Structure 1
Amino acid sequence: MTMVRLGYVAMSMELTNASPSKTMTFAQFQKIKNREAALRKLERIALTNIQNTYRLLKHNAASNIHFYRLTSRLIPLANHEELLDWDYISPLKEALHELGAYAKSNNMRIDFHPDHFVLINSQKKEVLKTTIKTLNLHHALLKEMGIDTTHRCVIHVGGNYKDKEKSLERFITNWMMVPKKLQTMIMLENDDTAFTLDDTLYLCEKLGIPLVFDYHHHLANYHRQNWEENWDRVVHSWKHSPLPIKMHISSPKSEKAFRHHADYIDIDMFFKFLREIKGSVPQIDCMIEAKRKDESLFHLMEDIKRREDVEIMDGSSFILK
């Protein structure tokens, strides 16, 4: 048997005034003449984001949702080059600790997925430097939450720079410049345009990184590669992880806009995948990447409850019979 747990990304469609990604642009920051006052305002925004995240975790616990992706925009302007002297962690320590303690007390798996500008295989040293700085921010947030940082941060391979082979090898070269504490935090995801499942597995196997399989991305970028034949390799990439295997699930918006995410999950597409992997792992955590966020999770669970080939465990978990 295989247990399936569903999660969602960052925002709730049900809670009002609970955005965890409130922000301030640097232009707005500069308009505040007193720099210390501007920094205090940034800290208040960051604290509001953390408090709203706490509300989201409470919403998850009440709905029996055990898997959640934190926004990477908790602290606005944290890595801006003009604010490198700003100690953004100290005033947020207590709130971050409470956030992590609540997640742990409710057995909730939480992680991050930094934006596309995190590029380990970049050709530019400055981009790699910024990438490491951004990963350090995510590591610091997890540490302050008291969360084990191992395999908590999903990233893509990066750009192919019109030469995929060289770009893959550059990832390996640049990986050696990434501190060990950040290496152990990272998971790699296959993407929908450049790096296929097979490409990503090449890096994961060479560097000992777990692979987060994105089924939708694979369908958009498979180049005749059969994912079923590679599934054992995906599972094997998680052999040293303390966490269950993770994958991403989304559905095409339309045939024409195939790469774009739909509002909800196509249950037939999802179960076509699940039927293939049933019994291969004891548990799989599926992060829903759909426009309607938690609403899409609830909608999917209502559809799943009508099936006869599952046993419902709670509001977001079920067993494949």
Structure 2
Amino acid sequence: MTIIKLGYVAMSMELENSSPSQTMTFAQFKKIKDRDAAIRKLERIAISNLENCLRLLRHNVAHDISFFRFSSKLIPLANHEELNDWKYMRPLQESLKQIGDYIRMHPMRIGFHPDHFVLLNSPKADILNTSIKQLAMHEALLKGMDVDTKHRCVMHVGGGYDDKEKALEQFIHNWGYVPQTIQEMIILENDDTTFTIDETLYLCEKLAIPIVFDLHHHLANYNDEDWFKHWQRIVDTWNISQLAPKMHISSPRNEKEFRAHSDYVDVKMFLDFLNEVKGSVPELYCMIEAKKKDQALFKLMEDIKPFDNIEIIDGASFAIH
């Protein structure tokens, strides 16, 4: 038996006016003649985003959802090169504390997935430095919530740069420049175009980083179709963590647009996977990366109910026997 806990990404399709990713472009920022007033507006947007995060967490608790990924766009223009003097964390302290207090009151697993431009294997020092600054922002947000930062940020390996083997070694080289607390925050994920599960596992095993297995990505970018032969290695990377293994689940939009995410999760594809791995771990956290967000989670819970080997636990988790 394995207990499956479902989560979703960043925003709700059910909860109105709750975007945690409201933003302001730098062009809009520059149009405000009073720079201090422009910064105060940025801060109001960031606080509004955090208030919506708290609304989302309340929505999740009402539906038994204890697994959630925050948006990485909570603070517009954070770390912009022309706003280096902006101490953006100071005005957010109270909002972050409220989120942290709520998480402790209603225990849940939360995390981030930094944007695609965060590249730890870049051969360019300026890109690496910018990436580390972005990760430091995520670390500061987690610390502001008083959440243990370990293994909370999922990342892709990065770019292939026309030589994947060299790019993997570049990641290892650059890893030495990453502060230890940020190293401990990171989890790696196999991607759908460049780094396969085997290549990502190479880094994870060498550098003691847990891996998030993305089945959809693997099917879109495989060197063989037999993903199960890697499963024990995937599970073993989590031995260093206090958290249970996690994975990403999504389904192809169609055969022609195979890499694109569908609105919902194909229950047969998901159940075929679960029947292979059940019993290998006590718990498995599955982050739904579907266009319909929480609606996809609710539909998946309904779709999975009729199967004989499924035991529903609550609104967002079940056991598979």
Give CA-to-partner distance per residue, 1:161-183, whole Å, 9 cap, x none. Answer: 11000000000000000000000
Letter in structure 2 aligned against 1:201: L
Task: Return the offset for 1:225.
Answer: 5.2
Q: Distance in 1 between matches of 2:311 and 2:103?
A: 25
Q: Does structure 1 residue 270 correspond to structure 2 residue 270?
A: yes
1:239 deviation in Å?
Answer: 0.1
Structure 2 residue aligned with 1:101: 101
Write the distance in 2 (CA, Å) between the matches of 1:182 and 1:252. Answer: 32
| Root mean square deviation, CA, Å | 0.6
Q: Which amino acid aligns with 2:288?
A: I
Aligned to 1:132: 132
Partners of 1:198 and 1:225 within 8 A in 2: no
CA deviations on 1:101-127 (whole Å, 9 max, x unpaired) are 212221110000011101000121110
Query: When the two structures are superposed, what TM-score results if normalisation uses the length of structure 1?
Result: 0.99
- Whether the 8 Å contact between 1:20 and 1:53 is mirrored in structure 2 is yes
User: Which residue matches 1:221?
Assistant: 221
Matched, 1:65 2:77: no
The CA deviation at 1:204 is 0.1
**Native 8 Å contact 1:205 1:237 kept in 2:** yes
Q: Which ranges of structure 2 fall in alignment gaps of 5 or more residues?
A: none
In structure 2, the partner of 1:175 is 175
Deviation at 1:307, TM superposition (A): 1.7
Matched with 2:166 is 166
> Residue 288 of structure 2 corresponds to which residue in structure 1?
288
Distance in structure 1 (CA, Å) of the matches to 2:170 and 2:283: 34
Q: Which amino acid aligns with 2:274?
A: L
Residues 41-95 of structure 1: CA deviation (Å, up to 9, x unaligned): 0000000000001000000000000000000000000110111111111111011
Normalized against structure 2, the TM-score is what? 0.99
In the aligned structure 2, how far is the partner of 1:175 from the partner of 1:142?
21
Is the CA contact (8 Å cut-off) linking 1:99 and 1:145 kept in structure 2? yes
* Partner Cα distance (1:191, 1:122) in 2: 16
Pairwise CA distance, 1:227: 1.4
Identify the residue that residue 317 of structure 1 maps to in structure 2.
317
Give the Cα–Cα distance (whole angstroms) in 1 for the partners of residues 102 and 317 of structure 2: 20
Q: Which residue of 1 aligns with 2:15?
A: 15
1:282 deviation in Å? 0.2
Alignment-mate amino acid for residue 317 of structure 1: S
Aligned: 1:203 with 2:206: no
Higher alpha-carbon deviation: 101-110 or 139-148: 101-110
- Secondary structure of the residue aligned to 2:213 is strand
Report the AA paired with residue 261 of structure 2.
H
Shift of 1:306: 1.8
Are residues 1:250 and 2:250 paired? Answer: yes
Q: Provide the rounded CA distance (Å) in 2 between the counterparts of 1:252 and 1:200.
A: 22
Q: Is the 8 A contact 2:219 2:225 kept in 1?
A: no
- Number of the residue aligned with 2:88: 88
Structure 2 CA distance for aligned equivalents of residues 208 and 299 of structure 1: 36
- Deviating runs (4+, > 6 A) in structure 1? none
Q: Distance in 2 between matches of 1:230 and 1:104?
A: 35
Aligned length: 321
1:150 aligns with 2:154: no
Contact between 1:264 and 1:296, CA under 8 Å: does it hold in 2? yes
